[in-house]
Amino acid sequence: MTESEALNKGERSIVIEAPCDVVYNYLFDFTRHTEWNYQPTKITKVSDGPLDVGTVFRAEERPPGKAPWIVRNVMLPVMMRLLGWKGYSEAEITALEPGRRLAWEAALPLK
């Protein structure tokens, strides 16, 4: 992995004390990700067909970070728009193992 690639990747993890199937079913409903993730404000399924590997979701997002209000809500959005950020990310489901594993990859589409 190059230094540039490393700067553009992120990962989150958390330990949840609940049965795997309960956690899986909750996460499987991607539209509820706004309940536990700060950045997305609205998540919509944009691909056709049933939820499966390859399904794509669009997330309208707030700018990342815990900077002061003026930076997060004025300066950062202006800078990101100048770079071509459209105000949303797209995520594609990459793995589904019911009750065990759910994975996706997300990207910020530019121009």
pLDDT in tens, 20-55: 889 889 988 988 888 888 778 899 999 999 999 999
Residues above pLDDT 90, as percent of the chain: 23
Nearest to 30 by CA among 41, 45, 19, 15: 45
44 DSSP 8-state letter: E
Answer yes or no: is pLDDT of 64 > 80.
no
> Residue 37: which residues within 8 A CB-CB, separation 6 or more?
none
pLDDT confidence of residue 79: 74
* Alpha carbons 38 and 63: distance in angstroms, whole number: 10
Query: Residue 56's pLDDT band (boundaries 50, 70, 90)?
Result: very high
Nearest to 77 by CA among 88, 87, 90, 66: 87
